Amino acid sequence: MSKWIWYPGDFELYHDQKVHMRRKEKGVFWPCEWDLYSCSFAVTFRKEADLASDEKIRTAATAPGRVVVVDGSGRHWLKIGEEYKVPAGHVLVEATLNKQGGLCAFYLQSAKLGTDEGWQVRPNSGKFVGAASNGMYEKIEDDPEVFKFSYKLLKPAEVKEDKTGVLYDFGRETFAKLIFSKAPRAGARFNYGESLEEAKDTENCPLFETAEKNSEFPAQAFRYLFFPGLKSTDVIFEAYYEYLPHKRLGSFKSSDRLLNKIWETSAYTLELNSREFYLDGLKRDRWVWSGDAYQSCLVDRYLYFDKDIARRTMTALRGRDPVKQFMNTIVDYSMYWILMVYDHYMMTGDAEWLKSVWQSAKTEVDFIKTRKNGEGFIEGIPGDWTFIDWSDMDKTGAVCAEQILFWRVLDRMDFMAKVCGDKGVSYANEASQLASKIRKYYWRSDYCAFIDSYASGKNHITRHANIFALLFGFANKNERRCIIDHVITNSAVTPITTPYFKFFELEAMAQIGDLKYVMDNIRSYWGGMLAEGATSIWEEYKPGVPAAEQLAMYGRSYDKSLCHAWGASPVYLLGKYVLGVRPTSPGYGTFEVEPRLEGFKELNGTVPIQGGIVTIRYGCGYLSVETDRDGGVLKINGKSVMLRKNQPTEMPL
C-alpha cells in the first residue's frame, strides 16, 4: 500500500504556518506574534529495489517536480502524474520537488515500489533519512496540504426572531462551517458568539462575517449566530461541525452527577481544541501554545491516547534548529516542551521516537541557557515573555517559578540522556547546583515559602513557585509541609484564577494525597462555571462573579475564550487520581490502578493506556477491574493485587 510521504517535520511545519495565519478579529487579520519555521523548499525522495516482474507506476505530488527512473532500459524522466512501466530488474526511482513555501509531498502508486516509510528523503542540503507519512493520507486523491477534518450536520436548538434580528442557538459551544443555500444579502453581516451577549453586540463582537459572493464560510467557534436586522426567512444555511474523528477511549460515570457533567464538559472542551494540533482555545487565536499543549497532552492520554496529535504538536512547536526564540516567545513554554517530551516517553515507552527528538531537546535547552543571568538563573531579556500565569506576581529579574521549572527540565534531561544512551552530556550536576541556589535565593523559612523574585527585595509570595516545588518533587519534606500549611491552604495567598494553574495546584495536592482538596476544588471551581451556564470550560474564572460580567479579557469586551483547552484537566485528575490509573514504568510496562471510592456509591470508568485499556466498575459494594495488558497492580485498602491480562479482578468492598 502506498502513502503520501514527505521529509520528517515538513507536514507539521506546513500546517503550523497555516494555523498561525488565519486569525481575524473584528474583521481585521491578526498576525502571529512569533516567528514561524519553514518547511523544505527543495526535496529529493528515493527508492532502490529489485523487481521480479514488470511494475506499473503512477505518481502524484503537491509540488512541481520531476521523477527520474533508472532501470535496465536506461534513464527516464517522468512528469508528475505520468504513468510508466518499470521493467523487471534493478531500479532506482528519484523524485525531486520544489515549492515556494508549500509542502513537498510525494506519492507513487505501485504494489512493489509504493511510497512509504521505506523510502528515503532529504532536503537538498541534507542527508537521506526515512520518509515520514501520516495515516490520514493514504490515497492518491488525498491532499496533504489540506488538513483532513470530518464534518457532521448540526441542528440549532432554538431559533429566535425579534425586531433586532434572528438568533440561532446551537445549545452548546461548537465549531462549524456554514453553507448558505440562501445567503444574506451582500454586505449583510452576521455575528458569531460563544456567549449570547457577544453575538448580539454588533459593535463589539470579535467574530463576524460579511456576506459577499461566497456562500460558504470557514469553521468558527460559536454557540450563537445572530443576523442583525434579518428575519429567519432571509437566510437558509446549514452548519457543519468540523472535527477530528479520533475515538474517545476514556470515560467517567459515577453516582456524582456534577462530577460526571464536569468530566463530560471537560472532555468536550479538549475535543473541540484537538485539531491540526492542540490549540489553546477555540475562538480567539487558535494558535499552538506550548504550555497549553503540555496540559492538553496530559489530559489527552486519559481521553484519546492519541499519540499522533501529541507528536504533531511537539514537532510543530519545536520547529527546526537553530532555535531563535522561546516557544511562543515565552521562557516557561520552551521548558514545558521538554517535559512534554518526557511525559510522552513515560506514557508511550517509545524510545525510538525519543531518540529522534533528543538532539532538538538538547539544542532547546542550550537556547534556554543563553538566558542565564549573573547568578546563573534563567532570566528573560527584552522580547522574551515570562508568563507563568495571568496572576499578579513579582516578575522582577529572575522568577522563582521559572527556576524550579528549569530544575525539573534538567532533572528530566538527565533521565532522558540515559534512555537515549547519550553519554556525552550530563545534566545532574547542573540540576543539583541550581537546586542549592534556588534554596539560597528564594526560600524564606520565616515565611515558610518560596518568594517570587529576589531582585526586587519585596519578598512577594504567590502560589505558583510553591505549587511547582510540590508538583515537581523539588520541595523536601519540611518545605512541603510549610508550603501546604502556609501557602496552598492559606486563603490570604491570592487564589489561582485560571484553570491552567488550577491544574498544577490540584495535581500537586493529589500527589501529596490530599484528594479532598482536589475534589472540593473541582466541584466548586469547575462546578461554578457549569452553574453559570458554561457548555465548555473557560480560559479564566472568578468564582462569585456572574457569567455576563466575566466575558472581557485583555482589555476587550468579549475576548475571554469560553472554550479553552487548559480547562480540561478534570479528565486527567479524575482518571489519574480517582480511577487511579497511572504508569509506574515507561509505556505502562508496569502500572498501578488505585481507585479512590470514598464518597461514591457508583464509579465506572475506562482509562486508555499504552497498548490497552483499563476498565473500573464499582457499585453495590463490589469492585471490578479489568485490563488487556500485563503489568498492572490494583492498590486498594492498603493492599496490592496483581492484575491479570483479560481476567477481571473482582472483590466485595
Instruction: Provide the binding-site residues for a second copy, judged by CB under 8 A.
Output: 14, 17-18, 20-21, 26-36, 38, 40-42, 64-66, 77-80, 96-102, 123-126, 321-322, 324-325
Neighbours of 552 (CB within 10 A): 12
Question: What type of residue sits at position 56?
Answer: K
By C-beta, is 65 or 605 nearer to a second copy?
65
Taking the complex as a whole, the smallest distance from the CB of residue 420 to a second copy amounts, in Å, to 23
Measured over the CA atoms of residue 337, residue 526, residue 518 and residue 631, the dihedral's sign is: negative
Least CB distance to a second copy at residue 177 (A): 20
Using CA atoms, how far apart are residues 584 and 331, in angstroms rounded to an integer?
30
SS3 content of the chain, % helix, strand, coil (to 5): 30, 30, 40
Residue closer to a second copy by CB (options 363, 649) is: 363
Nearest approach, Cβ of 43 to a second copy (angstroms)?
A: 9
By CB atoms closer than 10 A (0-12, 13-18, 19+), residue 556 is: middle
Please, what is the minimum distance in Å from the beta carbon of residue 14 to a second copy?
Answer: 8
Residue 101 or 135 with smaller CB distance to a second copy = 101
Query: 8 or 376, CB closer to a second copy?
Result: 8
C-beta of 94 vs 116, nearer to a second copy: 94
226 close to 203: Cβ distance less than 8 angstroms: no
Q: How far is the CB of 290 from a second copy (least distance, A)?
A: 15
Nearest CB to a second copy, comparing residues 71 and 271: 71
Q: What CA–CA distances, in Å, run from 587 to 22, 210, 213, 350, 485?
A: 37, 50, 53, 7, 35
CB closer to a second copy out of 382 and 638: 382
C-beta of 30: minimal distance to a second copy in Å?
Answer: 6
- Smallest distance, a second copy to C-beta of residue 100, A: 5
Q: Reduced to 3 states, what is the DSSP secondary structure of residue 402?
A: helix
Minimum distance between the CB of residue 650 and a second copy, rounded to whole angstroms? Answer: 57
- Looking at the chain, the number of H-run helices and the number of E-run strands are 15, 29
Query: Nearest to residue 466, comparing CAs of 481, 395, 456, 455?
Result: 481
Q: Would you say 321 or 540 has its CB closer to a second copy? A: 321
Residues 6+ positions from 203 with CB-CB distance below 8 Å: none
Between 118 and 126, whose beta carbon lies closer to a second copy?
A: 126
Q: What is the spatial distance between Cα 36 and Cα 342, in angstroms, rounded to a whole number?
A: 24
d(CA 387, CA 17): 23
* Neighbour-count burial of 77, counting CB atoms closer than 10 A to its CB (0-12 exposed, 13-18 middle, 19+ buried): exposed
Distance of alpha carbon 234 from alpha carbon 349, whole angstroms:
56
Q: What's the min distance (Å) between Cβ of 407 and a second copy? A: 26
Place of cell 457532521: 152
| CA angle, residues 418, 318, 468, in degrees to nearest 5 | 65
**By C-beta, is 15 or 596 nearer to a second copy?**
15
CB of 29 to a second copy, least distance (A): 5
The residue among 326 and 358 lying less far from a second copy, judged by its C-beta, is: 326
Helix axes 400-419, 351-369, angle to 10 degrees: 140
Would you call the peptide bond into 546 cis, given omega within 30 degrees of 0 as the criterion?
no
How far, rounded to the nearest angstrom, does the alpha carbon of residue 37 sit from its chain's CA centroid? 19
Closest CB 540 distance from a second copy, rounded Å:
22
Q: H/E/C letters for each residue in 262-277?
A: HHHHHHHHHHHHECCC
CA distance 452 to 400: 5
In whole angstroms, give the CA distance from residue 361 to residue 529.
38
- Give the nearer residue to a second copy in terms of CB position, either 104 or 529: 104
Find the shortest distance in angstroms from Cβ 581 to a second copy: 40
Q: Cβ distance 395 to 452 under 8 Å?
A: yes
Task: Enter the C-alpha cell of residue 118.
Answer: 521505506
Residue 51 CA to its chain's centroid (Å): 44
Locate 409 and state its grid cell: 527540565
Q: Work out how close the CB of 376 gets to a second copy at its nearest, in angstroms, rounded to a whole number.
A: 25
- Give whichever of 20 and 362 is closer to a second copy, judged by the CB atom: 20
**How many whole angstroms separate alpha carbon 51 and alpha carbon 73?**
13
